[in-house]
Structure 1
Amino acid sequence: MLTGRGIPAALHGELAALLDPPARQWLDRALAEAARAAEHADREEPGRAPDVLPPAWELHFAAAGRHCRSARRPGGDPADAARVLLLRAARADAATAARLYEHGTADERRAVLLALPHLDVGDAAVPLVEDALRTNDTRLVAAAVGPYAAARLDAHTWRHAVLKCLFTGVPVAAVAALAERARGDAELARMLGHYAAERTAAGRPVPDDLHRVLDLAATPHPQEG
Structure 2
Amino acid sequence: MTQPPSRTRDDVAARLPDDTARAWFDGALADAACAARTPPAASSPYLAHSWELRFAAAGRCCGHDNADAVRTLLLIEARAGLEALTRVYQQGTADERRAVLHALPHLVPGPEALPLVEDALRTNDTRLLAAALGPYAARHLDAHAWRHAVLKCLFTGVGLDRVVDLARRARGDGELARMLTDYAAERTAAGRPVPHDLDRVLTLTGEKPKEL
Name the TM-score, length of structure 1 as normaliser.
0.86
Instruction: Give runs of aligned pairs for residues 7-86 of structure 1, distance below 5 A.
Output: 7-8=6-7, 11-19=8-16, 20-41=18-39, 44=40, 48=41, 52=45, 54-69=48-63, 77-86=65-74
Q: Does 1:153 align with 2:141?
A: yes
Q: Number of residues paired by the alignment?
A: 206
Shift of 1:51: 5.4
For structure 2, which runs of at least 5 residues remain unmatched after alignment?
none
Shift of 1:4: 3.3
- Residues in 1 aligned to 2:147 and 2:14: alpha-carbon distance in whole angstroms: 39
- Residues in 2 aligned to 1:96 and 1:56: alpha-carbon distance in whole angstroms: 12
The equivalent of 2:3 in structure 1 is: 4
The equivalent of 2:121 in structure 1 is: 133
Instruction: Give runs of aligned pairs for residues 113-128 of structure 1, distance below 5 A.
Output: 113-128=101-116
Taking only aligned residues, the RMSD between alpha carbons, in angstroms, comes to 2.0
8 Å CA contact 1:113, 1:144 repeated in 2? yes
Secondary structure of 2:192 counterpart: coil
Secondary structure of 1:62 counterpart: helix
AA aligned to 1:179 is: A
AA aligned to 1:153 is: L
8 Å CA contact 1:110, 1:140 repeated in 2? yes
AA aligned to 1:14 is: D
- Residues in 2 aligned to 1:121 and 1:36: alpha-carbon distance in whole angstroms: 22
Shift of 1:119: 0.9
- Residues in 1 aligned to 2:22 and 2:195: alpha-carbon distance in whole angstroms: 43
Describe the shift of the 1:120–1:112 C-alpha distance in structure 2 as closer, same or farther (beyond 3 A). same
Shift of 1:200: 0.4
Deviations 1:21-65 (A, max 9, x none): 000000111101100100002xx4xxx497555521110000000
8 Å CA contact 2:170, 2:201 repeated in 1? yes
The equivalent of 1:94 in structure 2 is: 82
- Residues in 1 aligned to 2:108 and 2:26: alpha-carbon distance in whole angstroms: 23
Give the percent of matched residue pairs that are identical in Structure 1 and Structure 2.
63
Name the TM-score, length of structure 2 as normaliser.
0.91
- Residues in 2 aligned to 1:60 and 1:102: alpha-carbon distance in whole angstroms: 16
8 Å CA contact 1:23, 1:67 repeated in 2? yes
Instruction: Give runs of aligned pairs for residues 164-179 of structure 1, distance below 5 A.
Output: 164-179=152-167
- Residues in 1 aligned to 2:109 and 2:56: alpha-carbon distance in whole angstroms: 21
- Residues in 1 aligned to 2:169 and 2:133: alpha-carbon distance in whole angstroms: 12
Shift of 1:121: 4.9
Q: Does 1:194 align with 2:194?
A: no
For structure 1, which runs of at least 5 residues remain unmatched after alignment?
221-225
Shift of 1:120: 2.9
